[in-house]
Structure 1
Amino acid sequence: MSRRTYPNFILKEIFEIPEVLEKICRETFEFSGKVRSLLRGARRVIFVGCGTSYHAGMLGQIFFEELAGIPTLNFIASEFNSREPIFQKGDLVVVISQSGETAETLVSMKLARENKLPILAVVNNSKSSMAKRADVFIDTAAGKETAVAATKSFMAQMAAIFRMAIFLGEQRRKITFQTKARLEQAFSKLPDGAREILSQSGVVKRMVLKYQKRRQFFFVGRKLNYPIAFEGAMKLKETSYLHGEGVATGELRHGPMAMVDRNLLLIFLIPKDSVYEKNLSVLREARKNGGQVVAIATEGDRVVKRYASEVIYIPKTLEVLSPFLTVIPLQLLAYFSAEVRGYNVDKPRNLAKWVTTE
């Protein structure tokens, strides 16, 4: 795979996100008979993954509960393996892995198999161990991802899980045919939305240069953007070796606010959604306490500009689809933070593309 005009693979892969989304849009929101059968039989869904895949599961839990009305759990694979989860009839285990070879998640599959639970794998490699060992798998088809830090594959994982939730929602009569059509129509606009954000990459780089002396970051999000806050923090840590922490917006007042001062940079995920006013209230308080705030906000939002130090705008979309757009500025933030420090952004120290030991 050639990097073409890109200085490294990770930037190339971030800029391939619109293509990945377009490819997904060309597909229908339907699945193979085996996938449909497994999903229809589920009474409860258990997501299992590591790292970025765990964050996809966090979002999946929200998608499945809100769109499909099905009870859902989400586990870090190593924790799933270390505990004694209480399973019940009708459980469906959904393992998520970019490589399909993650050691801890393979152990989770073994545990699920021992308990006679059906397994669905969401992978980016149709020939992987997970694809072979699962009852059925969904290939996210993001294309080969060379950089260690997952970017476009995370987008494809989110899309696969979103599609599963839509299918289940329709099957369980949680959403109507008209609602499904509206969601699909809005999803089809995401590639252009992603391109619009990527066209602002220079804005993100200038912001990184402005705050490059900062070494402490809070990524703050609520509801659908709570998992994205965690993913943004992880991307920053694994590429630029800076300390980033994902914080639920409402939890900022329950301890973390004590750390807020002018040396801490807060990245607030605050699109115009059902929790906007609550998020704005916390943002204002953080600013009042001396925090420097970068807001990821919906285009046209002038209110947030009064309080945030910097604003990076994303296009308007449905609330449920906002994570597909808010994550892109965070990936760019992580990339530029590593680039300005001269780090190897494709191969961060001490890390591998997938973990082969438990």
Structure 2
Amino acid sequence: MPVERLLPNDDARDLIALTRDIADKALAPKVDDHEKREAYPDGVFETLGEAGLLSLPYPEEWGGGSQPYEVYLQVLEELAARWAAVAVAVSVHGLACFPLFTYGTDEQKQKWLPDMLGGATIGAYSLSEPQAGSDAAALTCKATRRDGGYELSGSKAWITHGGVADFYSVFARTGDGSRGISCFLVPNGLDGLTFGKPEEKMGLHAVPTTAAHYEGAFVPEERLLGAEGQGLQIAFSALDSGRLGIAAVAVGIAQAALDEAIAYANERTAFGKKIIDHQGLGFLLADMAAAVDSARATYLDAARRRDAGLPYSRNASVAKLIATDAAMKVTTDAVQVLGGYGYTRDFRVERFMREAKITQIFEGTNQIQRLVISRSLVAN
């Protein structure tokens, strides 16, 4: 059932209605087949780009939608409720645009940002490495200065949309220590840039996740974003927003699982009545609904703080932690509601459970979120 949303104005309500219409027509009819076949959703991102759904939180002057973050996140949630892999890729695209928009020069933004925000080019975020996931300061991929630019050498890992995206926000080492990381806007197709085979994942099958390998790939100096050594500052500021995107995706998955469980419980009978009328199951569904509503409230609170210009880093971690843990619990309970059917691939809830798991891991594991939250409680 459609979520009744509290939205700030008529434009936002129209945008959610548009999103639902596109999601129901362009995503929902394809998701089951594409996820089973692990087939890339050709044409879907072009459709979303043409509708302006890839650039909502960015200003109109650069081709964005000038929407508050609280509205953008609710659009992500609606997309995730139909197709989580697509919603994750949309969130990652927004994350990949952040370094250029926030730290790029006007000349850099004029050159690349309109195509990125208009959906002509799709982006990916390349921070993690095989031995440096949560510990971003341990990056070893190097960017060595050469005449007119940098040569990149090393490997990156866990890139959503890897090999398919048109550009990558890449973090590589230009010096020593935590202040020796820099950020580059790397186009696909560079000589010396190759991608590994897609990872065989538990879920999110339709959008590839790969490693990238740089062997002396030359990146012109104009593609350095911010100053040398500013990379971790850029990465961490982007991740606050990215964590909210994943929180919204997690709520979308959980809402979809709740809807499937409610529909099944209203149809299936046992001992002479609908199973939803049995108190034990009814209470389970009530707990699921409360978890979804609570998780949504946490990401909206953090987004409203962001929109108001208030500090929101801790709130983003809280939202990511609460929403993704809730998604894991709600999807697992949805499988329980459907019983043996829930354990089969004939019903979507088993896919929702597999998809929910990764939300507890990427954009900083939930253990990292607890670390961020606990450190925020220590007096300076």
Whether the TM-score (by the shorter chain) exceeds 0.5 is no
**Larger RCO, structure (CA 8 Å, separation 6 or more):** 1
Structure having the higher Rg: 2
Q: Which has the higher helix share?
A: 2
Q: Scaled by the length of structure 2, what TM-score is found?
A: 0.28
**Could you state the TM-score of these two structures normalised by the residue count of structure 1?**
0.30
